[in-house]
Amino acid sequence: MNKESKIYIAGHRGMVGSAIWRKLEAEGYKNLLGKTSQELDLRDQKVVQEFFETEKPEVVIDAAARVGGILANNDYPYQFLMENLQIQNNLIDGAHKNDVEKFIFLGSSCIYPKLAPQPLKEEYLLTGSLEPTNEWYAIAKVAGVKACEAIRKQFGKDYVSLMPTNLYGSHDNFDLNTSHVLPAMIRKFHEAKENNKPVELWGTGSPMREFLYVEDMADAVFFALKNKLPEHLYNIGTGKDLTIKELAETIQKIIGHKGKIIWDSSKPDGTPRKLMNVDKIKDAGWEASTSLDEGIDATYKWFLENEGKYKQVKI
């Protein structure tokens, strides 16, 4: 791959895809290709094949997916299974049939069994049952991992899957009804600070979680682009976790909220721990470089600059 290579980033407007786009531009790659869902419906096999035949990208990065929280997964299981299968299958098959030699498939740590030992290793894939609340999305992503592995095995192409831990950063979702824990906390603490109110959070604060700044994820993708990795599947994370209580206190300090944190222990905690083993990607030569404090600070600054997108809510 050189700086003139035509690189197609599917999902280039999302949090991950836009971070990858910024990273490649910063590294001097000019021939980047992106299409909105209105311009290219990735669920439609015919139009995706036509896209590959017309545009002829040399490299494909799949950061496109139908995503959502527990409620959305529970309410729309068929769409989460079928649309994700359609998107990735059309991209993987279209790339293969049009001689794309380099393909990077992005997934999620939810591909691993619910009760797998901690920290999660790549070899734990398909060794047990999935978490029921998001198994539809997870099954689709597992299929994508195996499709890339099959092409790699049968045709010798450089198709690799990267599975990130919990991501956060600029262009994240701060909608309190659908956002993940870290961006939701940023918004809650900010609005509580503005209104001089306490912050109420779900659970006991005892579960442990790992978080990766999205710019580090983009750097990992860039590393995979520059190198032919020996394995087909890599976990991408920091290899470090902290309690939700510690996360809340960190965000509170960075934002400057002085009020109380009230923990509603009647609400569920979720899985006690979810940590990725990142030894394989470290052995290959990559590791995360942004501290949690640095990442949260940068994310909060981006939120402040874009706060108008999010309606004020009562705390």
Which residues does the annotation place in the binding site for substrate? Answer: 188, 202, 209, 269
Q: Give one word for 199, left, alpha or beta, with left for phi > 0 and alpha for psi -120 to 50.
A: beta
Angle (CA) 6-163-186 rounded to 5° is 100
With beta carbons less than 8 A apart as the criterion, state whether 290 and 169 touch. no
Mark the binding-site residues, compressed into ranges. Answer: 11-17, 106-109, 141, 164-167, 180, 188, 202, 209, 269
Neighbours of 304 (CB within 10 A): 11
Q: Which residues make up each annotated binding site for NADP(+)?
A: 11-17, 106-109, 141, 164-167, 180
Count CB atoms within 10 A of the CB of residue 301: 12
Q: Are 108 and 161 in contact (CB under 8 A)?
A: no
State yes or no: is 234 an active-site residue. Answer: no
- Given the residues 8, 112, 137, 234, select the one marked as catalytic: 137
Buried b (16+ CB within 10 A) or exposed e, 132-145: ebbbbbbbbbbbbb
Residue with tokens 């306490």: 198
The DSSP code sequence of 291-311 is -HHHHHHHHHHHHHHTGGGS-
Return the active site residues.
137
